[in-house]
Amino acid sequence: MSDQHFEKFYWPSLRRLITELLDKDVQPQLYFQGDANPRLPYLAELPKGKVPIHFDWVDRNEARKYMAGNNCFWGNVPVSIMEYGTIQQVEDDVKELIDLFAPGGGLIIDSSGAITDNAKPENVEAMVRAVHTYGKK
């Protein structure tokens, strides 16, 4: 979808839906599949502290500009690292997420899409261990 169509058609209706769900005490959760970078400025318009946003792929530093202290950053540990990476790569990736997003509050560590059947068990364990190690400040 073009940026112009997103801004004119998609975003106004999505923002309205989110607002109306929140008004009814329903917790929406957004999932951005693919490159979310062009949509980041819109996320700053969401009510603060109300909408966790799960990312497949996003520039984390850019996302931090729009999300830190606003809404919960969720996901973004690449499936490829979980399936083919090393324990150290998983730990480094989780630590980077924690360093970027935990200080402002609102972070859920998760895979970018799903923890698949092909994820190495030792990498899943490394993800959990890294959360416990680096998530305590």
CB 103 within 8 A of CB 135: no
Q: Do the domain assignments include residue 104?
A: yes
CB 81 within 8 A of CB 72: no
Q: Do the domain assignments include residue 23?
A: no
- E strands present in the chain: 30-35, 53-57, 73-75, 107-108
Q: Do the domain assignments include residue 33?
A: yes
Question: For the whole model, what pTM was predicted?
Answer: 0.87
The pLDDT tens digits for 51-72 are: 999 999 999 999 999 888 889 9
Take residue 11 and report the two structure tokens written for it.
Answer: 């975003």
Q: How many other C-beta atoms are found inside a 10 Å radius of the C-beta of residue 66?
A: 19
Number of domains in the chain: 1
Q: Do the domain assignments include residue 57?
A: yes
Q: What is the pLDDT of residue 113?
A: 83
Q: What is the pLDDT of residue 53?
A: 94
Q: Do the domain assignments include residue 85?
A: yes
